[in-house]
């Protein structure tokens, strides 16, 4: 096999670039009239078939006729036609009226009928795309085989490029243009023509889609899209709650998805157990419109459920804007003002060309009538000239010579019927001369003055707005009114009980399974040192013997059964080998205090909020003071009486309210129990954990205090030290 050396750059130029440019310029990217070539060829064919007025015709007829301009195949043409129809609901203002099944833009599986079964005609609004097309408003070119002409653009009287959505994927680039409400677009365009620095957000509130839904508006994001033509926004479905049937009905969905995709994703969530409140989901779309019904449990909160579904399914989706448009055959990404600038310039050229056409036609008519006016003075002379001319070919020259008129005027006079060669007819015809001169002068003034051309554009836009405007289909929700759905919102919350063992195991058991559980399984010689009731969505703070506080989300800890050992904390928290968890506390709002008591008799009261962090830090050093060995650690949600014991059997009952809180986590605290003869604080107990004959004997209102020796009758103790 022989190979030929070729320069890659030259090969790409010769083989790839022509294809790429053909796709970009002639197929995938819309132009300033809001149409791709396939749309334009189809609509122009229907216009030439007389389908702007009259009865509908079979779609197959339209498809066949369109192939004279578009040779890409009948099904490709028909699919283009389907999207433009009233039946498909893809456009805010459909350009084709339809009869029959054309599928739905919001359904993946609802297929359109074959073209032999459906009927179409141009909608009334399509007439605004063709207005004055026969007055030289746009350029025409040959079709692919040179047998007929087709327009390069349609003289759209309104910014169709912004009113109906358009999407295209070319080679190396793409286009995705959202639709806007017609009245808002017209009002914005008029305002922009009158004032360049107009704030478009005052007129274009947000995009508007044929499938409805709600747009979540962030003003800064929308301003960026309007300015640059790039960006994305979120759009979500609308729903209503039917309490009598325990169901949620979704009746509008994002333009970017389908009912089947939504149902499939909801079914998958139920299958995976991520959503437990749904008992059934089904498509109940009928002739009245779209409807997805979700049956829910009686205990479910529909609004909370929908927030989960917005996060996890296409019920909330993003629309990525890429306003890429062909301007003069060159693809350009433009903001709204850039698009309006290009459209206004295009419309000005259309109106000036139409004006020039009208001037030319009226001038020609005026010229002929001025010639006719000359024979009114002597009609008999005209008749004598025609009767006295022996050769037909000399009639026109003789009239020219007899009345000092040119050839066109003489031809016009010569063609007048004999019955019309009377004074009444000629006076009636020539009575238009003055009005024609006035009209031509006015048209010439329009042609010269841009301000008058712009006034015409504004007047036409107001007419379009009044005639075709529709209420917004897509609602607007400000982003600040939307509850941000985080991962935590999707976590199921339920009651659990936690068990901490001396060998560092943590067991998290749901209360529902704990009721039927047997004896707790532990390793040999292991014991439970703390039990705690909590919620699955709570934070868990664990304190170690190395003055470190570890924070974990409880839902990150796997549920277990009484018959299992639970999670080994050294692995979960990545602790040092010699490190040991002493105490744990669960919290939802970080209220309350941690009370650390030390052997030197001091106690530190630290707000639990000191352990709350804005970041997702899981390890906090200097969780408490290490100046003196730790004697006791406990959480108190409110102040209460505690009992302090010293190593020489001194006892002190004090209230935690006399200990001032310290915001510094490793604070040394304040002196509670004074040392005597080298004694140390040995333990702290709750008041209900001890039985004294006379509690007031040990009580103190002021600290520090030495305390009182434990009486013989009070020495029976009920609880073992935790250390």
Q: Say which CATH number the domain at 93 has.
A: 3.90.199.10
Looking at residue 163, its pLDDT comes to 96
Task: Identify whether residues 305 and 347 lie together within a single domain.
Answer: no
Q: Say which CATH number the domain at 302 has.
A: 3.30.1360.40
> For a pLDDT cut of 70, what percent of the chain falls above it?
97
Looking at residue 483, its pLDDT comes to 64
Looking at residue 517, its pLDDT comes to 67
Whether the predicted pLDDT of 2 surpasses 70: no
Which of 468, 486, 507 represents a domain boundary (last residue)? 468
Task: Identify whether residues 446 and 523 lie together within a single domain.
Answer: no
Residue 8 within any structural domain of the chain: no
H-state helical runs in 568-667: 569-572
Name the residue range of residue 252's domain. 238-314
Q: Say which CATH number the domain at 391 has.
A: 1.10.268.10
Task: Identify whether residues 554 and 694 lie together within a single domain.
Answer: yes
Task: Identify whether residues 639 and 510 lie together within a single domain.
Answer: yes
Number of domains the chain is built from = 4
Q: Strand, helix or coil at 707?
A: coil
Residue 644 pLDDT grade (very low, low, confident, very high; cuts 50, 70, 90): very high
Residue 206 within any structural domain of the chain: no
Task: Identify whether residues 680 and 569 lie together within a single domain.
Answer: yes
User: How many C-beta atoms lie closer than 10 Å to residue 110's C-beta?
Assistant: 17
Looking at residue 274, its pLDDT comes to 83
**End-to-end Cα, the chain, rounded Å:** 85
Task: Identify whether residues 576 and 697 lie together within a single domain.
Answer: yes
Task: Identify whether residues 369 and 458 lie together within a single domain.
Answer: yes
pLDDT digits (tens, 9 = 90+) for 265-279: 999 999 988 888 899
pLDDT digits (tens, 9 = 90+) for 196-255: 899 999 999 999 999 999 999 999 999 999 999 999 999 999 999 998 899 999 999 999
CB contact at 8 A, 234 and 317: yes
- The CA distance from 96 to 572, in Å, is 64
Give the pLDDT mean for 569-584.
90
Query: Given CA atoms 688, 694, 695, 698 in this order, what sign does their dihedral have?
Result: negative
β-pairing, 528-535 with 505-510? unpaired
Give the pLDDT mean for 85-106.
95
Residue 514 within any structural domain of the chain: yes
DSSP 26: I
Whether the predicted pLDDT of 107 surpasses 50: yes
Whether the predicted pLDDT of 183 surpasses 60: yes
Shortest CA distance to 23 belongs to which of 34, 10, 38, 11?
38
Whether the predicted pLDDT of 716 surpasses 70: no
Task: Identify whether residues 543 and 460 lie together within a single domain.
Answer: no
Residue 61 pLDDT grade (very low, low, confident, very high; cuts 50, 70, 90): very high
Give the pLDDT mean for 63-79.
92
Output the DSSP codes for 96-156: EEEES----TT-SS-PPPPTTT-EEEE-TTHHHHHTTGGGT-S-EEE-TTSSSEEESS---
Task: Identify whether residues 309 and 349 lie together within a single domain.
Answer: no
Residue 489 within any structural domain of the chain: no
CB contact at 8 A, 281 and 295: yes
β-pairing, 475-478 with 214-217? parallel
Q: How far is CA 586 from each of CA 78, 372, 589, 686, rounded to the nearest angstrom?
A: 64, 104, 10, 19
Whether the predicted pLDDT of 721 surpasses 50: no
Task: Identify whether residues 302 and 420 lie together within a single domain.
Answer: no
Looking at residue 55, its pLDDT comes to 94
Residue 232 within any structural domain of the chain: no
Whether the predicted pLDDT of 121 surpasses 60: yes
Query: Which residues are registered as beta bridge partners of 248?
Result: 241, 294
Residue 17 within any structural domain of the chain: no
Q: Say which CATH number the domain at 562 has.
A: 2.120.10.90
Q: Strand, helix or coil at 63?
A: helix
Which of 447, 468, 489 represents a domain boundary (last residue)? 468
Looking at residue 563, its pLDDT comes to 84
pLDDT digits (tens, 9 = 90+) for 170-179: 888 889 999 9
623 Cβ contact list (under 8 Å, min separation 6): 543, 544, 547, 548, 549, 611, 665, 666
Residue 330 within any structural domain of the chain: no
What mean pLDDT value characterizes the chain? 90
- The CA distance from 130 to 143, in Å, is 19
DSSP 479: G
> For a pLDDT cut of 90, what percent of the chain falls above it?
63
Residue 335 within any structural domain of the chain: no
- The CA distance from 633 to 543, in Å, is 9
- The CA distance from 397 to 403, in Å, is 10
Sort residue 34 into left (φ over 0), alpha (ψ -120 to 50) or beta.
left
54 vs 715, residue with greater confidence? 54
Give the pLDDT mean for 50-63.
94
Task: Identify whether residues 57 and 104 lie together within a single domain.
Answer: yes
Looking at residue 718, its pLDDT comes to 42
Q: How far is CA 68 from each of CA 36, 58, 63, 516, rounded to the nearest angstrom?
A: 17, 17, 9, 79
pLDDT digits (tens, 9 = 90+) for 341-364: 999 999 999 999 999 999 999 999
Give the pLDDT mean for 525-544.
91
Task: Identify whether residues 439 and 364 lie together within a single domain.
Answer: yes
pLDDT digits (tens, 9 = 90+) for 382-433: 888 888 888 888 888 988 888 888 888 888 888 888 777 777 887 888 888 8
634 Cβ contact list (under 8 Å, min separation 6): 583, 594, 595, 684
Residue 720 pLDDT grade (very low, low, confident, very high; cuts 50, 70, 90): very low
- The CA distance from 336 to 231, in Å, is 13
Instruction: Give the residue numbers annotated as catalytic, written as ranges.
Output: 117
Looking at residue 723, its pLDDT comes to 42
């Amino acid at each position: 096999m022989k190979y030929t050396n070729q320069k890659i750059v030259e090969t790409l130029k010769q083989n790839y670039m022509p294809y790429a440019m053909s796709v970009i310029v002639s197929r995938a990217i819309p132009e300033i009239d809001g149409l791709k070539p396939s749309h334009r060829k189809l609509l122009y064919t229907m216009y030439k078939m007389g389908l702007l007025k009259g009865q509908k015709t079979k779609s197959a007829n339209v498809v066949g006729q369109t192939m004279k301009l578009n040779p890409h195949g009948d099904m490709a043409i028909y699919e283009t036609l389907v999207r433009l129809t009233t039946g498909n609901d893809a456009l805010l203002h459909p350009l084709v009226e339809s009869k029959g099944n054309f599928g739905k833009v919001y359904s993946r599986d609802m297929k359109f009928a074959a073209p032999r079964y459906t009927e179409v005609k141009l909608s009334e609004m399509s007439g605004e795309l063709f207005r004055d097309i026969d007055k030289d408003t746009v350029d025409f070119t040959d079709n692919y085989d040179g047998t007929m002409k087709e327009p390069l653009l349609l003289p759209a009287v309104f910014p169709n490029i912004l009113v109906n959505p358009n999407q295209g994927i070319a080679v190396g680039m793409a286009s995705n243009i959202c639709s806007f409400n017609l009245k808002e677009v017209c009002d914005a365009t008029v305002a922009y023509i009158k004032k360049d620095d107009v704030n478009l957000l005052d007129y274009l509130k947000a995009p508007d889609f044929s499938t409805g839904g709600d747009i979540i508006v962030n003003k800064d994001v929308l301003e960026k899209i309007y300015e640059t033509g790039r960006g994305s926004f979120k759009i979500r479905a609308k729903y209503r709650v039917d309490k009598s049937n325990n169901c949620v009905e979704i009746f509008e969905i994002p333009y970017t998805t389908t009912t089947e995709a939504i149902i499939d994703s909801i079914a998958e969530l139920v299958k995976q157990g991520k959503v437990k409140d749904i008992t059934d989901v089904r498509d109940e779309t009928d002739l009245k419109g779209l409807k997805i019904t979700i049956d829910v449990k009686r205990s479910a909160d529909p609004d909370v459920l929908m927030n989960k579904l917005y996060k996890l399914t296409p019920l909330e989706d993003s629309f990525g804007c890429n306003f890429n448009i062909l301007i003069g055959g060159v693809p350009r990404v433009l903001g709204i003002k850039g698009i309006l600038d290009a459209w206004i310039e295009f419309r000005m050229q259309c109106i000036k060309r139409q004006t020039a056409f009208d001037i030319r036609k009226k001038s020609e008519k005026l010229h002929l009538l001025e010639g006719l006016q000359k024979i009114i003075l002597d009609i008999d002379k005209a008749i004598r000239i025609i009767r006295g001319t022996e050769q037909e070919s000399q009639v026109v020259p003789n009239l020219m010579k007899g009345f000092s008129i040119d050839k066109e005027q003489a031809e016009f006079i010569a063609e007048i019927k004999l019955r019309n060669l009377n004074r009444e007819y000629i006076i009636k015809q020539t009575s238009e001369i003055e009005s024609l001169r006035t009209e031509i002068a006015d048209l010439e003034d329009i042609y010269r003055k841009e301000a008058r051309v712009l006034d015409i554009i504004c007047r036409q836009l107001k007419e379009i707005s009044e005639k075709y405007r529709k209420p917004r289909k897509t609602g607007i929700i400000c982003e600040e009114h939307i509850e941000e759905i985080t991962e935590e919102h999707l976590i199921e919350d339920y009651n659990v009980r936690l068990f901490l063992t001396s060998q560092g195991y943590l067991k998290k058991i749901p209360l529902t399974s704990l009721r039927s559980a047997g004896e707790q399984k532990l390793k040999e010689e292991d014991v439970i040192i703390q039990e705690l009731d909590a919620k699955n969505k709570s934070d868990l703070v664990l304190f170690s013997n190395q003055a470190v506080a570890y924070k974990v989300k409880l839902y990150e800890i796997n549920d277990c059964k009484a018959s299992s050992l639970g999670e080994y904390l050294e692995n979960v928290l990545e602790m040092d080998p010699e490190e040991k968890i002493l105490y744990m506390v669960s919290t939802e709002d970080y209220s309350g205090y941690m009370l650390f008591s030390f052997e030197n008799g001091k106690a530190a009261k630290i707000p639990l909020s000191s352990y709350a962090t804005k970041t997702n830090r899981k390890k906090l050093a200097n969780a408490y003071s290490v100046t003196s060995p730790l004697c006791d650690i406990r959480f108190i949600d409110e102040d209460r009486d505690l009992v302090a014991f010293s190593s020489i059997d001194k006892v002190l009952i004090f209230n935690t309210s006399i200990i001032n809180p310290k915001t510094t986590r490793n604070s040394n605290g304040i002196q509670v129990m004074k040392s005597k003869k080298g004694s140390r604080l040995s333990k702290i107990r709750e008041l209900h954990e001890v039985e004294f004959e006379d509690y007031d004997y040990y009580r103190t209102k002021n600290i520090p205090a030495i305390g009182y020796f434990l009486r013989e009758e009070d020495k029976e103790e009920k609880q073992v030290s935790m250390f």
